[in-house]
Structure 1
Amino acid sequence: MSAERIILIRAVNVGGAKLPMARLRDIATDLGATEVSTYIASGNLLCTPSGDPGEFDHALEQAIADEFGYYREVVSRSPAEVEAALVAYPFGDAAHGHLHFLTGVPDSTAAQNFCERDHGGGERLAVIGRDLHIDYPDGAGRTKLTAARIARGLGVTGTGRNLRTSATLVERARG
């Protein structure tokens, strides 16, 4: 099995926003996707959507909102795009490296200012295209660099995954 898209849903199965992965697979199938699978219960969906990926992403956001009563951004990339982000990761073998996949390309001045700002945890940041690359030297669990703070600073929302999960998603998508 191979999937054409890696679909990442922001902030599910935390803070009361429950989204059972079996139901997510069913919703994706109902929307016409094939080769549907999930990886861990944090909103990682692998599939081949029918039609335009952007339209599928929007339909998935709407279906989740309609059924579960909350809105969550859906960010999707091809396996090649996630692999390219992994290759471009500028902080070497960072033990706590993350990719924050953005819904769009942030303004270059906002990105530069955000990456140069001290966020309190010694984080190293780089925006490359529509991905924020993060090294959390003390781990992501203690950082003040939240998704909301990233969205305010960059002007676009997104969702983060650690490097290991990102690499596993590429492997699984390629079958």
Structure 2
Amino acid sequence: MRIIALLRGVTPNGKNRIPKMSYLVEILEDSGFKKVETYIQSGNILLETNLSHSEIASKIHDLIFEKIGAELSVIIKTKEELEGAIKENPFDDTYDFSRIHLVFTNDNIDDVKLKKVREIAFDGEIFFNGSECFYMYLPRDASKKKLNNNYLERQLGIVCTTRKLNVIKHLYSKV
């Protein structure tokens, strides 16, 4: 089965840096994953495996920590989940396409906490929740940016990772 693994916390420098995506591909293939590809340096992996989602996330996390030293969370998604996320995008052509972000998690969301986040006014920023992900519209002119990945993690008690819509569309086309 073809899977998408989204790494949370990849940084260009420091302890959560992945020096070369080609090395990441090599260690994942050496561990038994098939047809491993990466897309851009921020930690997007496509691969084939028959392992469960939790086994994939755990194995990728442990390999990266052991071989590279980076402590990264791993969010696992399928082609169908990405397709659903793309189709449910609540933002039409009147929005700046480059400012649409999708937030993915492996965690279950507490309805009470989610309701509180949905009720907050984000001063120009927009938040929606869909069945496969959260959607954020983050305009350049927002006076004080509040809505982001770290904020959602704190408020919802989850681990999540954010990607621009165009990245998700690209990953979907490659699955």
TM-score by length of 1: 0.87
Partner Cα distance (2:84, 2:132) in 1: 12
Partner Cα distance (1:130, 1:62) in 2: 26
**Closer, same or farther in 2 for the Cα pair 1:139/1:59, shift >3 Å?**
farther
Q: 2:117 aligns with which of 114, 118, 121?
A: 114
Q: How many residues align?
A: 169
Aligned to 1:53: 53
Partner Cα distance (1:129, 1:105) in 2: 11
Query: Once superposed, which parts of structure 1, at least 4 consecutive aligned residues long, lie more than 4 Å away?
Result: none
Partner Cα distance (2:136, 2:13) in 1: 23
Aligned to 1:163: 165
Q: CA offsets per residue over residues 128-172 of structure 1, 9 Å max, x none?
A: 2351111112279x8333322110111111101100010000001
Deviation at 1:125, TM superposition (A): 0.7
**Which amino acid in structure 2 is aligned with residue 132 of structure 1?**
F
Deviation at 1:24, TM superposition (A): 1.4
Q: CA offsets per residue over residues 103-139 of structure 1, 9 Å max, x none?
A: 213111211211221345x211112235111111227
TM-score by length of 2: 0.87
Q: In percent, how many aligned pairs have the same letter?
A: 27
Deviation at 1:80, TM superposition (A): 1.3
| Structure 2 residue 137 is matched with structure 1 residue 135 | yes
Q: How does 1:93-112 map to 2 (within 5 A)?
A: 93=93, 94-95=95-96, 96-112=99-115
Aligned to 1:44: 44
Deviates more, 1:107-116 or 1:163-172: 107-116
Matched-pair contact (CA < 8 Å) for 2:82–2:132: no
Aligned to 1:12: 10
Q: What 5-or-longer segments of structure 1 have no aligned partner? A: none
Matched-pair contact (CA < 8 Å) for 2:86–2:169: yes
Q: CA offsets per residue over residues 15-58 of structure 1, 9 Å max, x none?
A: 52211211211122122111111111110001112422320111
Cα RMSD between the aligned structures?
Answer: 2.0
